[in-house]
Amino acid sequence: MKNLNKKLILLLALLVLISGSLFAASDDDDEDTYVESFSLGDQMFFINGGVFIPLFFFDRSLDVMETNLTLGGTGSLCWQVFLTNHLSLGGELGGMFALSPNRRVLYMIPLTVKATYWFRFYPFEIPISLGLGGNLSILEEAAHIDFIAKPAVGFYWNFNEEWAFGANVTYWFVPQIYSGSGKVQSSHSMFGNFMDVSLSVLFRF
């Protein structure tokens, strides 16, 4: 009888170990097989808003000077479509405002084509993007359209499959290049360097 009891105890212990190992393996399989995947045609829509930070200007001689602008506000709407699981392409319409020393308001309205590569560490994502396009600058009655480049990096938390919330840091490079010897000479060319830090709401559909 004692030998039978020992065998039953050993058998029960063995069953517990086997069932525990199978349960752990199934959990590992669930974690390993869960991959947030996107394919051609999956879309996203972003709403961004934050603080505009003027950094500096430099001229053709690479002399650096202050912008003489205050901190301002910025916002943008962005739509993108996935080309692969990690690469998306779309467009972004943004805007900013800041004040000059004599309280004049500077507005900039950039419209860019934006490409983004997504690094994923579920439930977090790190998008690195580059936007290229045109920028409309308005200061009272004066207006000018220039090229703009906007490299950016973000950090997002996925609330669920559709909604994500995050923050972005975006660099604005705006060259204002003039030529000729008229009222606005080539020596007036300036290269604007700005930044914005924004919060973002992302919706996938």
Tens digits of per-residue pLDDT, 17-56? 544 444 444 444 444 444 567 888 899 999 999 999 999 9
What's the structural domain count of the chain?
2
Mark whether 18 and 66 lie in a shared domain.
Answer: no
Q: Would you say 134 and 113 are in contact if contact means Cβ atoms under 8 Å apart? A: no
Count of beta carbons in the 10 Å neighbourhood of residue 47:
14
| pLDDT tens digit sequence for 91-133 | 999 999 999 988 899 999 999 999 999 999 989 999 999 999 9
Q: Quote the pLDDT of residue 181.
A: 56
Cα dist. 53→56, 77, 114, 136, 187 in Å?
Answer: 10, 19, 21, 18, 25
pTM: 0.76
The CATH number assigned to the domain holding 95 equals 2.40.160.20
Q: Is the dihedral of CA 132, 133, 138, 143 positive or negative?
A: positive
- Token pair listed for 188: 């007036």
DSSP 2: H
Mark whether 94 and 19 lie in a shared domain.
Answer: no
Mark whether 18 and 77 lie in a shared domain.
Answer: no
Residue range of the domain that includes 112: 43-204
Mark whether 119 and 176 lie in a shared domain.
Answer: yes
DSSP 16-34: HHHHHHHHHHHHHHHHHH-
Mark whether 48 and 29 lie in a shared domain.
Answer: no
Mark whether 28 and 127 lie in a shared domain.
Answer: no
Q: Quote the pLDDT of residue 180.
A: 60
| pLDDT tens digit sequence for 164-204 | 999 999 999 999 887 665 555 556 788 899 999 999 999 99
pLDDT band, residue 141 (cuts 50/70/90): confident
